[in-house]
Chains A and B, each alone.
Chain A
Amino acid sequence: MSEGESWRRNADEAQEEEEEVDESGYKTVKDAVLFAIDVSKTMLQKPTPTDGKKADRDSPTSAALKCAYQLMQQRIISNPNDMMGILLFGTEKSKLHGGEDGSGTGMSYPNCYLVSDLDVPSAEDVKRLRNLVEDDFESSKLLRPTTDAVSMANVLFCANQIFTTKAPNFSSRRLFLVSDNDDPHENDKDSKSAAAVRAKDLYDLGVVIELFPIAKPGHGFDRSRFYDDIVYRSSTGEPDAPAPVSTAAKVSSSGDGISLLQSLLSSVNSKAAPRRAAFSLPLEIAPGLKIGVKGYILVKRQEPVRTCYVWVGGEKPQLAISSTTQLAEDTAKTVEKSEVRKAYKFGGETISFTPEEITQIRSFGDPTLRIIGFKPASLLPVWANTRPAYFIYPSETDFIGSTRVFSALQQKLLQDDKIGLAWFIPRRNATPTLAALVPGEEKLGDDGDQVIPPGLWIVQLPFADDIRQKPEIILTRTTDTLTDMMRIVIQQLQLPKAVYDPIKYPNPSLQWFYRILQAIALDEDVPDKAEDKTIPKYRQIDKRAGSYVVTWGNELEQTAQKLSSLRPPVKGIKRGSEDPDSAPTKRLKAVKTDSGSMTDNDMKKRYAEKSISKLTVPILKEWASSKHIPIDGKKADLIERIEEYFENK
């Protein structure tokens, strides 16, 4: 139960899809994660304090809770429709839905305490979890281990019931189990068997157990003692697949180095998103040679949630769900989907087609990835890109032997720095494109974990129709001296490790958006300054390259002057027709910003003196365009806009 059956959740969407390949179907495949965190004496033990800067201060339980807290915040951003819940087990208190202890349902699952129910997290859930993480008093009330023996069978059945009732038809359901106890039923064979039976239930229900083991100091974590009876192969779709990269047991040390929290975070993060295939299709390597591949989206722009409507007529704001009915314009009668026809405006006429005809016109055959030949990678220019690449990896589901053939192809392309060219239709009725198949090497991070998986990437190429006409330019070419000076500047400013590592650059506007939203949702103070790691390190740039830039600037100034003395200023400049606002005055604008034209301060002064109107239109326009103020319209409009700019400042 996993990728294979996603069809049934989005089959309808897939049928309606016709415009282009989007990820809408993919998004509706939902995920539910239940954290089950062990609360025991050893789990609550804080490491011996040390002076080390990175010293661990968290007990395993609190590290796990922090981890869950971070994951919850992260998932609100990245998977806004997915569910999450947090269950503590081994606690003195018991609570499932509703009341604590003695009352009703709680009793059937003793020593299980549901901190937040499995659901799309609400602001209250985030707040409660934060209090538990940050407020020692709050947590000390709850985090008290029971003295009774905890039945794992009971814990697993509790999880079973939570999944059955709260997320009955999610295509991905996962139980994240955090514990340091590798043998909870050491001398109790019956309890052990009962746990194995309950684990099988979970497996049959389609819930995957992800174990995050924590090694006790001097003890380690031996999966074979108990958990190998509980955990099933994670790649359920493909029983024959080799074991995936498995997480190593975490060493809970009080010493320095990577803290428990850090290592737990990194392994939880690697499981944060369930692996979902965007499509599954035959890769036709050669005429008569098909293998199976699955496509994944590993790179995609994460956007903030769209605005929605909130009903404010009641006691508390509630999300309003909109539904659309289609009406005929003339009679205002409701229109059934089957009655709708598609028509194009053409000249003054309307040319109409039946839905079947539209499908036929847009259809170019079954989904496929058909290689038509190979080229050296150098023939794939940087500009030939239209959208993020898909990642593909072999699958044995449809063709036995796919993996080895795929591997041979990937290795050959890597060795010879070649790419494949392929005809690509990702889904039924999707727009066909030509795509470059670019081989990708496996990349490991510093800690030896995989960062980029090995496989092929599908880069969808532009057609002739998509390539825009270049604007005309009048080229003034550099001199060797000038280029050499710029080379020195560039050499000073290589990024760390000479790579762009996306992980180091969180999206500033996205983070800001959710910071604010969280602050409003939790009724906190709105922060006034955003953290923005994309802003270049100006001080370093100045220190490392400043003097070389100045040298280059002086040379540029001289070369430019020599040039302008060689030819009369107006010659060679296209005026008027091409670009109305590139009047000759613009040429005077120096390359450095400390130019002779209107500076911000001058303009500000004039604004204060109310003498902006005395400036000429070209000067106003130039200044306005530098501030991205619209420059169309009359002079009065322009002045008004500039004044507005200062008013709002």
Chain B
Amino acid sequence: MANKEATIYIVDVGRNTGDTHSGRDESDLEWSLRWVWDKITTTVGTGRKTAMVGVLGLRTAATDHFLSDEGGYEHISIFHPISVLMPDVRKLREKFEPSSTNAGDAISAIILATQMITDHCKKLKYTKKIFLVTNGRGHMDADAGDIAGLAKKIQDEDIELTVLGVDFDDVEYGFKEEDKSDTKASNETILRSLTEQCNGQFGTLEEAISALGAPRVKTTRPVHSYKGPLTLGDPENYDTAMSIDVERYPRIAVAKPPSASQFVVRSGATQDSVQSSETLQEGGASDQRPDGDLAAVKNARNYQVPDEDAPGGKKDVPEDELAKGYEYGRTAVHINESERNVTELDVEPCLDIIGFVPRTNVQRYFSMSKTCMIIAQKANDKASLALSSLIHALHELDTYAIARFVNARKSKPVILLLAPEIEIEYECLIDVELPFSEDIRQYRFPPLDRVLTVSGKTITEHRNLPSKDLMQAMSDYVDAMDLSTAGKDDDGDVCEYATMDQTFSPVLHNVNQNIQWRAARGDQSLAPVLEILTRYSRPPDDLVTSATTEINTLVKRSDVKPVPPKLKGRKRNRETEKPLSGLNVEELLGREKRTKISAENAIPEFKQYIENSEDFSAIKNAADQMFNHVSSYIQHSIGDSKYGMATEVLYVVKQSMIDYEEPEIYNEHLAALKRKVLDGSLGGNRTDMWVRIRHNRLGPITKEQSKHSKYSEEEAKRFMRVSPK
């Protein structure tokens, strides 16, 4: 469990923090706030109830704190008292503005902060921190004695003091400000001396800000997921069985970004205030409501069963007439509450070795889960010794174990692969789940190193097989792009590039970054994406540069040609498909040229009809007939029984009209169909059919899909609405 924390940020908002220095665009305050906001929002973002934060303003116009009666503490304000949550981060935003004064003493502020922490924490166990962020351009009044006394107090209270200064000199980091004013130089000296005396830290702000680019990884305390014996053989019935007490911990657990909740605008809140996409706390009413103008969205469920007599073929059923059950095919199987667990397999927890396999026979693609690790029971030397002998024996034999694992009583057994891992002073078994027979799908694919023809011959030279030249070019390229030596470590030595501990989840960090960004700013902007999040989205530049020759050769020998987009959807040649024998079925058909499309066999006849006719009137005629069938299907549909056939026909006609670049034939028919579907002339209320057409994306052909269309994307969308607003 992490310790309780109390942290105070002292933020210098003196008038001259509004000035810019050292060629930056931002003012000193804006620059400081980048760091301050990052710290505060990160703490708030963890949602930890044990992390408390207070904020002091230094060089404020007013004086607002509990020592205000005493002299020497003027122009310091408590922006936020030490507390768990920050319900009003937003209010801080308003306070973080350069004030109208330059008066106010940083040392006094530190004394005040120390007092605040002491009052808050009393003698309880806390991790106590004070951060002072200042540009050092204010007046400070302190003699050596004061400093020593304060340092002692800070040390006695076990507080960690960190001073971060805008353009402070820092030899270690390598920063020195030229033409530093005397006041600032003297202030730096005083603050440095203070931090040295109380074992605090003193640094230049640039260093702190440059560290913000690295995402923080949240650590989770390891919690075991299994505790029990690892067995080989059956200890209950055989005295020759092995049993080692072990514990299992997660090794990989995919970190997910925080989940968002759904809200709607509260009724009464004006739509305009929301469309401006503010954080929604800006409105006046928001002061009373933590969620501002938002109301939570609740889910309401209702249940229906098919009923031929009911309108629409379905009727509502009350919840108390429902029981839990399962589907067996399309049969509903209902199981009594008392028998609920009959479907559970009666198994006891175990981690039971089935046998061993050589590592080289283990296929990586069978690993199907996140991984865990198995260590000996804590504080059990004998178990540790026993497990260690297993780990080492596996390692020496280059062998993995296969085990049956049941996590808890009546839970599902899984098969685990157990692999030894040995490091300096650390040993464990890594485990990962393997598939059962039901988990494997057997799709067959042609071989990649030879071609089998329909007639059964094997060919080794074919346009789908790489030539020797291409193989060589690929080989050279792969070797040239080796990442195992493409990285540089902190000392500048060669090392592996893109190791897993250097890579960070882009979505996770970008979501967090944006929540914090918006919380701190309250505007509509989005945070810039950290460079590190996309660094590994492309090959490293220097590697690409050094491999230019190999890349060019590979591209040339590969001779890959993109398929022109227009041809993709269509058959590449207008020759009709033939069966394996090559028989020309068209000829058999051709004798009696189709002009009429039957309702029963509409789709094949439509395709065959238009394949053999090129002129507009024939295509139009075919489409006319198809739409007649669609209307008739809908009209004669009992409930939704023929909707499927209707949508399928629509789909086929739409695709053909796109192919033949006759979008308006489809669009005009669709408009007529819409009228009929919605005005009740096709056998009653058929609105649900229209919903289905929309759901299946069978709306008008748009300009994007076919250039002669009259519909833009937006118009098509509007057209599909049941009642255009």
Contact = CB atoms under 8 A, between A and B. Distances in A.
Nearest to A233: B580
Given A197-B589, A343-B263, A322 B303 contact: yes
B664 interface: no
B297 A307 contact: no
A291 interface: yes
Contacts of A594: 235, 239
Interface in B245-301: 245, 247, 249-255, 258, 260-267, 274, 277, 279-281, 290-292, 294-301
B500 interface: yes
Contacts of A269: 442
Given A287-B551, A324-B299, A200 B432 contact: no
Contacts of A469: 219-222
B251 to A, nearest CB: 5
Interface stretch (A54-62, A179-187, A251-259, A431-439): A431-439
Nearest to A503: B437
Contacts of B347: 508-509, 532
Interface in B481-514: 481-484, 486, 496-498, 500-511, 514
Nearest to B436: A507
A21 B562 CA distance: 27
Interface stretch (B94-102, B103-111, B406-414): B406-414
Contacts of B343: 304, 512-513, 516-517
B644 A168 contact: yes
A538 to B, nearest CB: 4
B566 interface: no
A285 B544 CA distance: 12
A411 interface: yes
Nearest to B527: A361
Contact of B303 (A309, A407, A542): A309
A463 B500 contact: yes
A376 B623 CA distance: 58
Interface stretch (B172-180, B191-199, B203-211, B446-454): B446-454
B432 A385 contact: yes
Interface string B517-549: 011000000100000011011111001100000
Nearest to A521: B328
A487 to B, nearest CB: 4
B546 to A, nearest CB: 12
A351 B412 CA distance: 40
B419 interface: yes
A343 B579 contact: no
B304 A467 contact: no
Interface in A541-591: 541-542, 545-547, 549-550, 552-553, 556, 559-560, 563-564, 573-575, 578-579, 582, 584, 586-587, 589-591
Given A330-B267, A408-B474, A470-B373, A299 B563 contact: no
B471 interface: yes
B297 A399 contact: no
A300 interface: yes
Nearest to A352: B280
Given A311-B317, A312-B334, A400-B561, A340 B446 contact: no
Interface string A188-215: 0000010011011111111000000000
A124 B452 CA distance: 44
Looking at chain A's contact residues, the main secondary structure is: mixed
A308 B240 contact: no
A121 B328 CA distance: 8
B327 A80 contact: yes
A400 to B, nearest CB: 5
Contacts of B446: 241-245
Interface stretch (A38-46, A131-139, A473-481, A612-620): A473-481
A592 interface: yes
A174 to B, nearest CB: 14
Interface residues of B, number: 261
A312 to B, nearest CB: 5
Contacts of A418: 478
Interface string A589-615: 111111000000000000000000000
A475 B503 contact: no
Nearest to B257: A362
A398 B222 CA distance: 47
Nearest to A80: B327
A17 B368 CA distance: 22
A321 B317 CA distance: 10
B356 A341 contact: no
B692 to A, nearest CB: 10
Contacts of A149: none
Contacts of B355: 493-495, 536
Nearest to A520: B333
Given A327-B298, A536-B354, A467 B518 contact: no
A483 B645 contact: no
Given A385-B367, A520-B333, A556 B303 contact: no
Contacts of A560: 381-382, 385
Given A80-B329, A200-B589, A383-B251, A591 B486 contact: no
Contacts of B415: 500, 505, 534
A251 to B, nearest CB: 17
A383 B399 CA distance: 16
Interface stretch (A85-93, A95-103, A365-373): A365-373
Nearest to A318: B305
A197 B473 CA distance: 49
Contacts of A479: 389
Nearest to A204: B604
A34 interface: no
A489 interface: yes
Contacts of A232: 577-580
A69 to B, nearest CB: 13
A646 interface: no
B722 to A, nearest CB: 13
Contact of A584 (B228, B379, B412): B379
B51 to A, nearest CB: 11
Interface in A528-544: 530, 532, 534-536, 538, 541-542
A104 interface: no
A485 interface: yes
A382 B385 contact: no
Contacts of A65: none
Given A302-B439, A421-B483, A549-B233, A405 B560 contact: yes
Interface string B319-335: 00111111111111111
B501 A471 contact: no
B376 A399 contact: no
A125 B329 contact: yes
Given A323-B302, A591-B383, A505 B519 contact: no
Contacts of A550: 239-240
Contacts of B241: 538, 541-542, 549
A78 B440 CA distance: 11
B388 interface: yes
A217 interface: no
Contact of B443 (A157, A273, A440): A273
Contacts of A244: 444-446
B385 A563 contact: yes
A120 interface: yes
Contact of B362 (A343, A500, A625): A500
B481 A373 contact: yes
Interface string B57-91: 00000000000000000000000000001111110
19 contacts: A76-B328, A229-B585, A245-B444, A289-B551, A300-B441, A313-B318, A326-B299, A346-B41, A375-B482, A387-B369, A461-B500, A466-B255, A468-B252, A490-B401, A494-B355, A498-B361, A504-B437, A505-B437, A510-B412
Q: Would you list the 7 A-B pairs with minimal beta carbon distance, nearest first? A: A348-B87, A546-B240, A313-B321, A228-B581, A310-B325, A408-B466, A486-B393
Given A230-B579, A289-B555, 9 more contacts: A407-B464, A408-B474, A412-B475, A423-B538, A477-B427, A490-B401, A512-B344, A518-B328, A534-B413
